Amino acid sequence: MKNSFDEKILDEAKDWIKANQKVVLATVIQTWGSSPRQVGSRMIVNEKGDFSGSVSGGCVESAVVSECLSLIKDNKPCKKIEFKVSNESAWEVGLACGGEIAVYIEQIH
């Protein structure tokens, strides 16, 4: 029961765009098992790698940031990324809780 009306992350995205930054919006679109943030949780990333908001409890944020940077670099509109604990790179980006999440990243243009 999140209070979406009062969430400020999209307002912040608008502020970043106003300041001439490139902004990628990352949204949790699916979760399986126990995962720290619910579907609809968001974070934003700019071309410098600054970010705000969250899509997990700190487990996959760094990986999401680098995916967002590549999206800007390759000038692609969107991408779906899945994170599982069984990932080869689990040491870096696995979810400690054993859950799985799918994150959708998209450029705001």
Partner 1 sequence: MKIKTLEEILKKKSSKTEFAILTNLENGDSEIYLPGTSPKGEFSKYVDQIENFFKSKKNGVIENSEIFVETYIKPIKVIIVGAVHIAQYLVDFAKSLNFEISIIDPRGYFASKQRFPDIKVINKWPKEAFEEIKTNSSTALIALTHDPKIDDPALQYALKNKFYYIGALGSKKTHENRCQRLSEAGFTNDEINSIHGPIGIKLGGKSAPEIALSIIAQLVSETYKK
Q: List contacts with partner 1 (CB under 8 A).
A: 1-5, 10-11, 13-14, 17, 25, 27, 29-30, 38-40, 77-78, 80, 102, 104, 106-109
Least Å distance, CB 38 to partner 1, is 8
CB 64 within 8 A of CB 77: no
Burial of 93 from C-beta contacts in 10 A (0-12 / 13-18 / 19+): buried
- Indicate the residue among 24 and 95 with the shorter CB distance to partner 1: 24
Least Å distance, CB 96 to partner 1, is 23
Structure tokens at 108: 């705001």
- Indicate the residue among 90 and 102 with the shorter CB distance to partner 1: 102
Least Å distance, CB 109 to partner 1, is 7
37 CB-side CA count, 13 A = 21
Structure tokens at 88: 């080869």
- Indicate the residue among 9 and 90 with the shorter CB distance to partner 1: 9
- Indicate the residue among 14 and 66 with the shorter CB distance to partner 1: 14
Cα 26 to its chain centre, rounded Å, is 3
